[in-house]
A and B are shown apart, each in its own frame.
Chain A
Amino acid sequence: MWLLSFIPDSFLHLAVLAILSAGAVLYTIGLFINFIPPLYPYKEITRIIGTALIVAGVYFYGSYNTEMSWRKREEELQAQVKQAEQKSKDANAKVKVKIVKQLKIVHDKQVVVQQIIQRDAAKIDAICKLDPSVIKDLNEAAKNPLGDSK
């Protein structure tokens, strides 16, 4: 019911009630035509049109209610989506702050470790002599087995 979305709710409601009322009025007129002999030939057609309008009015009333319930559901969902988007933003901000904080801790720890190594370098190097195979083996272990990681 895409076209209905362009029509204001109040207008739709009014149109449905107008069709329903017109049907009821016509049908009632059809009943009273019995008492006005000159209009007697129009009795049947008035009743038929009145009945058709009542049926159409009831149908449109049902459609109107369905349309309104969908619009209400749509509004609810839009509100939920808006709320979810805000929550997403908050969650992103929370994660960002956490990452920055954690990376700083990791970095600070690294700085301290590097300082310790530099402080102890003379002591470490005095008692240990490296065989060239150590570097080769360590580098081999550090190489990405999957090749280029990108």
Chain B
Amino acid sequence: MKKLLIFAILVTLVGCKTAPVAPKFPDVPNELTKSCPDLTLIDESVTKLSDVMTVVSKNYNQYYECKVQIDNWIEWYNMQRDINNKIGK
């Protein structure tokens, strides 16, 4: 009786099947995986405004580089979401 029960359970289990279709989550481009660096600080020995402006403008540039990353992250996510949401429909 015990063996029969084990056999019945095994037979039931072989009826189980995992979903054979599993979409792989796409890899994000490497360009988007870098984190934004901290802003550059000005050397305290600096006395010229032009040197200050150089650092400040580099920081502005850094902001725009980060903006490119974030905006493209959002665009990438929206595109991938739309592509994946269409599967099975």
Of residues 124 to 150 in A, which have CB atoms within 8 Å of B's CB atoms? 124-125, 128-130, 132, 134-136, 138-139, 142-144, 149-150
Residues 45-79 of chain B, each 1 if its beta carbon lies under 8 Å from chain A, else 0: 01111101110111101001100110010011001
Q: What separation, in Å, do the CA atoms of A43 and B42 have in the docked complex? A: 105
For residue B63, give the distance in angstroms from its CB to the closest CB of chain A: 9
The yes or no answer to A39 lying at the interface (CB within 8 A) is no
Q: Which residues does chain B contribute within 8 Å of A77, judged by CB atoms?
A: 21, 87-88
Name the residue on B nearest A75 (C-beta). B21
On chain A, the residues within 8 Å of B22 by CB distance are 81
Does residue A18 face the partner (Cβ distance < 8 Å to B)?
A: no
Asked, given contacts A92-B76, A135-B42, A138-B52, whether A130 binds B47 with beta carbons under 8 Å apart, the answer is yes
Residues in B neighbouring A143, C-beta threshold 8 A: 38-39, 41
One of B17, B65, B76, B86 near A2 (C-beta < 8 A): B17
Q: A138's closest neighbor in chain B, by CB?
A: B42
- Determine if A55 is an interface residue (Cβ-Cβ < 8 Å): no
Q: How many pairs, one residue from A and one from B, have CB atoms within 8 Å of each other in the complex?
A: 136
CB <8 Å contact, B15 and A2: yes
Contacts known (A1-B15, A81-B23, A134-B52); A99 close to B31, Cβ less than 8 A: yes
Instruction: Determine the distance from Cα of A136 to Cα of B68 in the docked complex, in whole angstroms.
Output: 29
Tell me, yes or no, whether A106 is within 8 Å of chain B by CB: yes
In the docked arrangement, what's the CA distance between A114 and B17, Å?
Answer: 63
Contacts A/B (CB < 8 Å), 29 sampled = A2-B15, A2-B16, A3-B14, A77-B87, A80-B88, A85-B26, A87-B83, A88-B26, A91-B26, A92-B29, A95-B29, A95-B32, A95-B72, A96-B31, A98-B75, A99-B68, A99-B69, A106-B61, A107-B61, A109-B61, A113-B61, A117-B57, A130-B52, A138-B52, A142-B38, A142-B41, A144-B39, A149-B37, A150-B35
Nearest 5 A-B pairs (CB), nearest first? A121-B50, A110-B61, A88-B26, A142-B39, A2-B17
